[in-house]
Amino acid sequence: MDTLQATTLTNGQTTLSEEAIDEFAGRLRGPLITPGDDGYDAARQVWNGMIDKRPALIARCSGTADVIDAVNFARENDLLLAVRGGGHNVAGDAVCDGGLVIDLSEMRGVRVDPSAQTVRAEGGATWGDLDRETQAFGLVTPGGVVSTTGIAGLTLGGGLGWLRCKHGLSCDNLISADVVTADGELLPVSEDENPDLFWGLRGGGGNFGVVTSFEFELHEVGPTVMMCAVMYPAETAPEALPAWRDFMEAAPDEVSSQAYFWAVPDVEAFPAEARGENTFIVAAMHAGPPDEGERVLQPLRELGTPLVDLSGPMPYRAVQTLFDPFFPEGERHYYFKSRDLASLDDEVIDAIIDGAMDRPVPTILIAIWHYGGAMSRVGADETAFGSRDAPYLFSVDATWDDPADSERVIEWSRAFLDYMEPYAEDGMYVNFSGFGEEGDKLVRSAYGPNYERLARLKAEYDPDNLFRLNQNIRPAGGASDERRPEAA
């Protein structure tokens, strides 16, 4: 190993000596991957195919001891540091140019305790890993709607999925966590131990350290549940979207649902005559007995004449992988950005339809997430998550294949969010935050009244802002103009 040029925390340059790198590599149980190594290009690739960052070092950790050594190495050498869970963050915060990546992708162990109805999973596990183990016992904890997403980033930012109205956000189901903090200490975190940090982990993102394991509460759901997935012609939306809203406002907690504007994908699973059609989609899962779910969700299947109706009872794990084929790793380009809506009254609906029908690329997905039920009954200051009161989340989930489309798709997405501004609340979902372009302003708006407490917590646990490649909370009392060293 030769010397390596690396990027410092404040975007300067430093030279790492051969001895220092060899000594670090020798301590790790997992491999230390450097430019030129076989597998370097695969190791630096994240979900978003737009991201092309070249870390100096990738520590593929095998366990907590590796994570502690890697955090210490980064701090002692003043290195820019990224932490990779599932690698789904669209801004590519899981990797960095010139710095050190703590890569947890091999730390995916999951252990279920069926009698206590709890599960403990390592920090690199995905929702697919977790669901596989918990469903063996007919149990679940709320995750996201794409099974390849990491449990870490999703839970730390909140965690929206098909169980949010029945059992809350992923972070609401967190019982405890193990966290390696900036000083390389391993802290147990729960309601009883380091409760302030426990508060911050539930929504505050990756700001406070590397979470090496998460313990969640489990609930009985499945193995079969009723799923509603109906694609209507987009022209149906002026009647169907208000009808969906009215249905959701009276729906039982068992139902969690999103409405989407999209194009019917050009894949065999869909009838040839429907492929490529502009569509308004109603997707909902019922978390109770399938026959009851079938009855409850039936009205959502009668909002018009469907182009395609994929609804039916199905295994919970099939629901959890339903969207996977449309979000492949590394190939496709992604830009997801959201705003909390103040309401979904008819004027807001008209604005959404107006914008959604004008998508420049058909694969741009416009999502409306209904909030409510269990996730809204948690007090606004009980966890760091910032958007408990919003009734709906509006999100532009742009996906496209041709790099030549990037500029116009991203510009259009930003313009649509600006157009929705008059109907928005001052908040958004940190896990759908684009490239974090607005920096501190965005983070303050996302956390609202919880921001100041988060900033104090950050000052206590990470005063030098070692963990800054995230929706970054500036340490209270620190330099207010501290910027992330790179923007995607």
Contact positions vs ligand FAD (CB under 6 A): 47, 82-90, 93-94, 104, 123, 144-146, 149-150, 152-154, 156-157, 159-161, 206, 210-211, 327, 334, 431, 469-470
Q: How far is the CB of 189 from ligand FAD (least distance, A)?
A: 12
Residue showing tokens 């009872």: 313
* Bridge partner list, 57: 100
Q: Are 346 and 242 in contact (CB under 8 A)?
A: yes
Of 102 and 353, CB closest to ligand FAD? 102
* Helix, strand, coil percent values for the chain (each to nearest 5): 30, 25, 45
Q: Which is nearer to ligand FAD, 236 or 334 (CB)?
A: 334
Cβ atoms 272, 283 nearer than 8 A: no
Supply the minimum distance, in Å, between the C-beta of residue 95 and ligand FAD. 8
How far apart are CB 176 and ligand FAD at their closest, in Å? Answer: 14
Q: Could you tell me the smallest distance in angstroms from the CB atom of residue 343 to ligand FAD? A: 22
Residue with smaller CB distance to ligand FAD, 114 or 330: 330
Q: Nearer to ligand FAD by C-beta: 112 or 145?
A: 145
What residues form DSSP beta bridges with 188? 178
- Shortest distance, CB of residue 207 to ligand FAD, whole angstroms? 8
Both tokens assigned to 307: 């182009």
Return the beta strands (E) in 162-205 as ranges. 174-180, 186-190
| 299 cis-preceded (ω within 30 degrees of 0) | no
| Cα 108 from Cα 144, distance rounded (Å) | 17
Measured from each CB, the residue nearest to ligand FAD is 153
Considering only CA atoms, which of 64, 348, 320 is closest in space to residue 72? 64
Closer residue to ligand FAD (CB): 128 or 144: 144
**Residues 47, 329 contacting (CB under 8 angstroms):** yes
Residue 330: CB minimum distance to ligand FAD, A: 11
In total, the chain counts a number of residues equal to 488
| Residue 159 vs 434, nearer CB to ligand FAD | 159
Instruction: Pick the closer one to ligand FAD by CB: 436 or 448.
Output: 436
User: Would you say 101 and 41 are in contact if contact means Cβ atoms under 8 Å apart?
Assistant: no
Amino acid sitting at position 216: F
Shortest distance in whole angstroms from residue 366 CB to ligand FAD = 15
